[in-house]
């Protein structure tokens, strides 16, 4: 039997998944079929690649030598497919977003990816990852919380990279007494009246960690919840219109509310997840850099957040190219025109939101 690309992908997927059963799920194969294919592949390469156990699989000595080569083979093959696809004018970049879909971001992508048709779509995190896996989207921006179960995208066969690590802050109406604080301790949160996310929403797990941690007594974990929402933007409307509190990331904030940092805040990651073979390495680099640059420009428009990023720059190395090199000094970017256009567009959209909030008041 000759080793083919599909065989290399099977080996790489099983190794990334950590078990044959999870690998079968990632590949969409029945487990007995995958097990039989693994035996044929191992026979072809002259020995076992994995040590099987009840807890999963580990590489054998032969596997440690061959799996990196298989991974490189898969990467090269995916790059060939992506380059061929990019050469066709009928191959747009289909980008999914969850929660954070500012129109100015799409404009910034068009400015940089001049030879690529960019199409964007907003959908929930689970649907976005599924759409990428099934080929309906080229890539998607999703949120994940690595330290909390239930928020990590099950994307062993997908590429992924962190765009930015966002803090979780307290959102309050402007006239709330706590807005005068520099920080709020999590122990004070149960005393507030809340709007929270429904259990099916990815952010619900974050709220549970802050509002109902397992080690806290039940009496200290009780909090009055006025309503359950299905998006951060809807939560912000309840904060503004009903005077309740909510937790949010800075990218989920809207005009008309005040964000207050938490002491030792929880963090979530905004990630780019892409389907291998759909995006070339060059397009991927441009996409990641553009979204990060746009995010830095967006951070300037959120009161208090830009200074907080500067004070905590060590925790956000991915944004270093777009933060001032030192106090009072801005980095000179090779794409300064695109950066300034992005900053201007973000500010215009924030002004529009401010006017809309004022009309509601």
Last residue of a domain, one of 265, 280, 295: 265
Q: What integer pLDDT is reported at residue 294 of this predicted model?
A: 92
> Where would I find the H helices in the chain?
5-17, 20-27, 31-45, 61-86, 103-112, 125-134, 204-211, 218-221, 232-242, 281-300, 305-311, 336-360
Task: For the chain, give the percent of residues with pLDDT over 70.
Answer: 80
Range(s) of the domain holding residue 52: 5-85
φ/ψ bin of 343: left (φ > 0), alpha (ψ from -120 to 50), beta (otherwise): alpha
What's residue 82's pLDDT? 65
Cβ proximity of 297 and 339 under 8 Å: yes
111 and 336 in contact (C-beta within 8 Å)?
no
What pLDDT score was predicted for residue 155? 45
Q: What is the DSSP letter of 149?
A: T
Same domain, 175 and 261: yes
Write out pLDDT tens, residues 312-361: 999 999 999 999 875 455 444 444 444 455 545 544 544 444 444 444 44
Q: Give residue 114's pLDDT.
A: 80
CB 160 within 8 A of CB 274: yes
One domain for residues 180 and 142: no
Same domain as 204, residue 290:
no
pLDDT < 50 regions, the chain = 90, 148-155, 217-221, 327, 330-339, 343, 346-347, 349-361
Residues 186 and 155 in one domain: no
Of the three residues 214, 248, 265, the one that is the final residue of a domain is 265
26's CB contacts (< 8 A; 6+ apart) are 13, 16, 17, 154, 156, 157
**The domain boundary residue, chosen from 61, 85, 109:** 85
Residue 57 and residue 62: Cα distance in Å, rounded? 14
Tell me: do 177 and 162 sit in the same domain: no
| 3 state SS of 270 | strand
pLDDT at residue 335 in the model: 44
Q: Two tokens at 48? A: 């076992």
Q: How many helices (H) and strands (E) does the chain have?
A: 12, 12
Q: Do residues 109 and 250 both lie within one domain? A: no
pLDDT at residue 240, as a whole number: 94
Cβ neighbors of 169 (< 8 A, separation 6 or more) are 247, 248, 249, 250, 253, 259, 260, 261, 262, 265
**Would you state the pLDDT for residue 149?**
47
355 shares a domain with 272: yes
CATH code of the domain covering residue 197: 3.40.190.10
Residue 355 and residue 275 share a domain: yes
Q: How many domains does the chain have?
A: 3
Q: Which two tokens stand for residue 23?
A: 């690998």
In this structure, the answer to whether residues 201 and 324 fall within a common structural domain is: no
- Asked whether residue 192 falls in the same domain as residue 247, the answer is yes
Name the pTM for this structure. 0.68
The Cα–Cα gap between 153 and 143 comes to 9
Dist. CA 240–CA 233, nearest whole Å: 11
CATH number at residue 13: 1.10.10.10
Query: Could you tell me if 99 and 73 lie in one domain?
Result: no
What token pair was written down for 17?
A: 């998944």
Residues 29 and 173 sit within 8 Å (Cβ to Cβ):
no
Same domain assignment for residues 130 and 188: no
């Amino acid at each position: 039997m000759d080793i083919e690309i599909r065989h290399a992908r099977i080996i790489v997927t099983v190794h990334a998944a950590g078990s044959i059963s999870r690998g079968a799920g990632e590949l969409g194969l029945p487990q007995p079929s995958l097990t039989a294919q693994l035996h044929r592949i191992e026979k072809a390469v002259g020995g076992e690649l994995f040590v099987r156990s009840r807890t999963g699989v580990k590489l054998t000595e032969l596997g440690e030598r061959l799996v990196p080569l298989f991974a490189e083979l898969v990467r090269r093959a995916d790059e060939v497919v992506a380059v061929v696809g990019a050469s066709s004018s009928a191959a747009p970049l289909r980008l999914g977003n969850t929660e954070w879909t500012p129109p100015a971001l799409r404009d910034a992508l068009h400015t940089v990816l001049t030879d690529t048709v960019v199409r964007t779509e907003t959908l929930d995190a689970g649907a976005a990852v599924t759409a990428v896996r099934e080929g309906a989207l080229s890539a998607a921006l999703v949120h994940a919380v690595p330290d909390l179960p239930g928020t990590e995208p099950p994307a062993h066969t997908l590429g992924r990279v962190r765009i930015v690590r966002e803090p979780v802050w307290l959102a309050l109406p402007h006239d709330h007494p706590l807005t005068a604080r520099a920080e709020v301790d999590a122990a004070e949160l149960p005393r507030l009246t809340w709007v929270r996310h429904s259990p099916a929403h990815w952010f619900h797990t974050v709220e549970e960690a802050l509002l109902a941690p397992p080690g806290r007594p039940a009496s200290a974990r009780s909090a009055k919840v006025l309503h359950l929402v299905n998006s951060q933007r809807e939560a912000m409307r309840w904060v503004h219109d009903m005077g309740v509190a909510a937790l949010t990331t800075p990218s989920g904030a809207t005009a008309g509310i005040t964000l207050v940092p938490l002491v030792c805040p929880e963090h979530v990651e905004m990630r780019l997840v892409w389907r291998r073979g759909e995006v070339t390495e060059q397009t991927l680099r441009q996409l990641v850099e553009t979204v990060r640059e746009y995010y830095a420009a967006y951070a300037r428009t959120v009161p208090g957040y830009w200074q907080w990023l500067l004070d905590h720059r060590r925790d956000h190395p991915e944004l270093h190219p777009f933060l001032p090199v030192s106090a009072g000094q801005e980095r000179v970017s090779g794409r300064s025109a695109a950066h300034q256009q992005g900053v201007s567009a973000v500010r215009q959209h924030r002004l529009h939101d401010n006017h809309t909030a004022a009309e509601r008041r």
